[in-house]
Chain A
């Protein structure tokens, strides 16, 4: 079964600084990989996804993530943080052996300092 690890439950960066949110998955079989974002008092929305092909995936709001099979990682980055990026970010992977078919990480809360 898959597992997803998001390093750091809370990340704080200054406005304009690089954003790096880490995600590692467990399986040696490349799954489909996702990042979802949850703004305060809202549901989750898809930020970006990797299925096949190019390993660098671009998403909405200037975010991108790179699938690295050798490191079983799918870290999320944004070159310059904006105050509006403050939210909770969830990494997710497909796991066809699980009841839900998709496994979510525990989430990383991103705070932006003025």
Chain B
């Protein structure tokens, strides 16, 4: 069974540009989470989607947005890139009923570098 897949693996952008990151969850999982892992800052929760709806978002500005498609894959968009957006972006998936038990399945991440 395929795990959570993310693309691209690496992405280099310049300040002010837009970045789009993609995530395919494990087959059958309906929930997708996005986390930002910047150097020295641990995991910061960005967004949670389930069944195509945004369920919750973390404490990030509106230029961080995303969506979930009917096949449960998800996209994270970051507009007006700033240098501090440089980070590893992790996607995780779970069954909705697993959300309350906290078990998440992570992809390997997309590393975004903003120059």
Contacts of A102 in B (CB 8 A): 99, 102, 104
**Which residue of B41, B103, B107 is within 8 Å of A34 (Cβ)?**
B103
A-B residue pairs in contact (CB < 8 Å), sample of 30: A32-B101, A32-B102, A42-B108, A42-B109, A43-B107, A43-B108, A43-B109, A44-B43, A44-B92, A44-B104, A46-B103, A46-B104, A49-B102, A51-B101, A90-B43, A94-B100, A96-B100, A98-B45, A99-B48, A99-B56, A99-B58, A100-B33, A100-B45, A100-B48, A100-B58, A101-B48, A101-B99, A102-B102, A104-B43, A107-B42
Q: CA separation between A44 and B108, bound complex, in Å?
A: 8
Contacts of B43 in A (CB 8 A): 44, 90, 104, 107
Q: CA separation between A10 and B107, bound complex, in Å?
A: 24
Min C-beta distance of A88 to chain B, whole Å: 9
Contacts of B108 in A (CB 8 A): 41-43
Contacts of A43 in B (CB 8 A): 4, 90, 92, 106-109
Question: 8 Å CB contacts to A: which residues of B1-48?
Answer: 4, 33, 41-43, 45, 48
Q: CA separation between A104 and B92, bound complex, in Å?
A: 13
B106–A45 touching, CB < 8 Å: yes
**Which residue of B56, B101, B109 is within 8 Å of A94 (Cβ)?**
B101
Determine whether A26 belongs to the interface, using a CB cutoff of 8 Å to chain B. no
* Residues of chain B at the chain A interface (Cβ within 8 Å): 4, 33, 41-43, 45, 48, 56-58, 90, 92, 99-109
Contacts of A3 in B (CB 8 A): none
Residue of A nearest to B3 (CB): A43
Question: 8 Å CB contacts to B: which residues of A21-79?
Answer: 32, 34, 36, 41-46, 49, 51
Contacts of B105 in A (CB 8 A): 46
Q: CA separation between A49 and B57, bound complex, in Å?
A: 25
A-B pairs, top 6 by smallest CB distance, nearest first, are A43-B106, A99-B56, A100-B45, A106-B42, A102-B102, A94-B102
